[in-house]
Amino acid sequence: MNKIIHAVESLNIWIGRAFGWCILILTLSVAYEVFVRYVLNSPTVWAFDMMVQMYGALFLMAGPYALAQDAHVRADVIYRLVPVRWQARVDFVLYVLFFFPGMLALFWYGWEIAADSWRYHEVSWNSPARIQIYFFKTLIPLAGGLLIIQGISECMRCFIAMRTGQWPKRMEDAKETEDMLIQHAERP
């Protein structure tokens, strides 16, 4: 089971890193647009649309990555005080009752939205450049599918924790600076 969990995590980490480059593209396009608009007085018609799509892609594809890294916000005032086996039970029930129905809806309706968009070769109606957006809408069901797969992996993680009383180790990617400082301070 650990091999499956780590394979799914590896996939979502790799995709998260790949889409992380959207931040650089987004930053450069904003800087470019600000320069040409305010310095050269020659704004573009495409930069805003590209920024919206880059941000949307980043937002959609960060979800599976954050779930794989256990980086989603959690209100764990009581949760962290209960034993790991109970944490795993609570997580499993919450995944079944809330997470999977929401992600199945995201995948299902996202698929319909993307299929319609591809069928009509949809373009942005509020863009003077009339850019194509059907490529972007394909990310909606893709993100939903990746979240479902990662959710299954999280449920496997819950089963292991219910059985052993310990959470399986996660694959680490990036760490928050404060986590690194705490880790460094705890060393003898």
Q: Is residue 187 part of a domain?
A: no
Please report the pLDDT score of residue 148 as a whole number.
Answer: 97
User: Would you mind telling me the total number of residues written for the chain in this entry?
Assistant: 188
CB atoms within 10 A of CB 92: 18
Cross-strand partners of 123: 132
Q: Is residue 183 part of a domain?
A: no
Tokens representing 91? 């997580």
Q: Is residue 159 part of a domain?
A: yes
Q: Is residue 184 part of a domain?
A: no
Q: Over the stretch 65-117, which tens digit does the pLDDT of each residue have?
A: 999 998 888 777 888 889 999 999 999 999 999 999 999 999 999 999 999 99
CA 185: distance to chain centroid?
30
Q: Is residue 174 part of a domain?
A: no
Please report the pLDDT score of residue 129 as a whole number.
Answer: 74
- Which structural domain, as residue segments, surrounds residue 94? 2-166
Amino acid at 94: L
DSSP states along 72-105: S----TTGGGS-HHHHHHHHHHHIIIIIHHHHHH
Give me the residue label for tokens 């809408």. Answer: 137
Amino acid at 162: M
Please report the pLDDT score of residue 100 as a whole number.
Answer: 97
- Predicted confidence pLDDT, tens digits, the chain (188 residues): 889 998 999 899 999 999 988 899 899 989 999 999 999 999 888 888 888 888 899 999 999 999 999 888 877 788 888 999 999 999 999 999 999 999 999 999 999 999 999 999 888 777 777 888 888 899 999 999 999 999 999 999 999 999 999 999 888 777 777 777 887 888 77
Q: How many CA atoms lie within 13 A of 119 on its CB side?
A: 6
Q: Is residue 99 part of a domain?
A: yes
Runs of H (alpha helix) within the chain: 2-38, 47-68, 84-94, 100-120, 134-137, 139-164, 177-186
Number of domains in the chain: 1
Q: Is residue 180 part of a domain?
A: no
- Enter the pTM of the model: 0.85
Please report the pLDDT score of residue 108 as a whole number.
Answer: 97
Query: What b-and-e string marks burial along 142-178, b requiring 16 or more CB atoms within 10 Å of the CB?
Result: bbbbbbbbbbebbbbbbebbbeeeeebeeeebeeeee
Say if CB 63 and CB 147 are below 8 A apart. yes
